Amino acid sequence: ALPFVFISGPCQIESREHAFKIASFLKAATDKAGIPFIFKGSYDKANRTSLSGQRGIGIDEGLKVLGEVRDEFGCPVLTDIHDIEQTRIAAKVVDIIQIPAFLSRQTDLLLAAGETGAVINVKKGQFLAPWDMANVASKIASTSNENILLCDRGTSFGYNTLVSDFRGLPIMSQTGYPVVFDATHSVQEPGGRGGSSGGKRDYATALARAALAVGAAAIFAEAHDDPDNAPSDGPNMLPLEWVEPFLADLKAIDEVAKSRKTGYGF
């Protein structure tokens, strides 16, 4: 089996310089660990908890930076889109189009994404069961685009809290599409700070190990050089200094999991 892929980057593309700094660090760390790397960055945070949350650099500038990151570091790049027009524009630049969790049931957006021919990483809505993702994937696959990733970023559990149900990974794998575990958003506390989301990054790393032990194909985890002052998702992003030891452990877990025995269930 192939080793797991690490999808990482800052929550927002804050500037060309900042994106390059993070990408450079992550590319070196993943190269050192022997792990495939995909750079993730958002040009717009379209569903902030409150209006005062910072939105982002915008699609034109954001896609320009993403293209430059790919050229400079030789890694695929991923961004999330929020409507059909953005999807078509972004697909001209990025390798992977990401459908946000809140939009995972919007049929026209899924179809438009599929039709671009890009790889589509669709996040499971916090309001969906793992088995509901087969219907979501079918919408995309109806465009004859089978380059689909299914991503778990947590499920609603009471108010302002998510829980990661690891039964969901083998359930989603039964579609035949690779399953991604989004470790940093899974520990978000949505709206938990009143006007913004909270989170507990300490648990993200433990959950990422769990996801690989279960059999995830990729780990998604946002990282930042100064998460406590980041414009979004600060409480759950990983500081860069965590990345190297974290990746080493992930790789060791993944090697065991990918060579696991047969004959006993999932």
Is position 156 an interface residue for a second copy (rule: CB under 8 A)?
Answer: yes
- Bridge pairing between strands 162-163 and 179-182: unpaired
Is position 252 an interface residue for a second copy (rule: CB under 8 A)?
Answer: yes
Q: How far is the CB of 191 from a second copy (least distance, A)?
A: 4
The token pair that represents 204 in the structure block: 């993200």
Q: How far is the CB of 53 from a second copy (least distance, A)?
A: 8
Is position 108 an interface residue for a second copy (rule: CB under 8 A)?
Answer: yes
Rounded to whole angstroms, how far apart are CA atoms 239 and 241? 6
Q: Which is nearer to a second copy, 147 or 161 (CB)?
A: 161
Q: Where would I find the H helices in the chain?
A: 16-33, 59-73, 84-90, 107-115, 133-141, 168-173, 183-186, 201-214, 240-258
CA-CA-CA-CA dihedral for 128, 182, 192, 240, to nearest 10: -170
Question: Which residues inside 59-98 make contact with a second copy, applying CB under 8 A?
Answer: 82-84
Rounded to whole angstroms, how far apart are CA atoms 161 and 163? 7
Is position 49 an interface residue for a second copy (rule: CB under 8 A)?
Answer: yes
Residues in the chain: 266
Is position 46 an interface residue for a second copy (rule: CB under 8 A)?
Answer: yes
Is position 105 an interface residue for a second copy (rule: CB under 8 A)?
Answer: yes
Is position 147 an interface residue for a second copy (rule: CB under 8 A)?
Answer: no
Query: In this structure, what are the phi and psi dihedrals at residue 218, rounded to the nearest 5 degrees?
Result: -155, 150
Q: How far is the CB of 230 from a second copy (least distance, A)?
A: 17
Question: Which residues inside 123-142 make contact with a second copy, applying CB under 8 A?
Answer: 125-129, 131-132, 135, 138-139, 142
Find, among 44, 39, 87, 90, the residue nearest to 63 by Cα. Answer: 90
The token pair that represents 18 in the structure block: 């900042």
Is position 189 an interface residue for a second copy (rule: CB under 8 A)?
Answer: no
Is position 200 an interface residue for a second copy (rule: CB under 8 A)?
Answer: yes
Q: How far is the CB of 103 from a second copy (least distance, A)?
A: 7
Q: Which of 7, 204, 217, 237 binds a second copy (CB under 8 A)?
A: 204
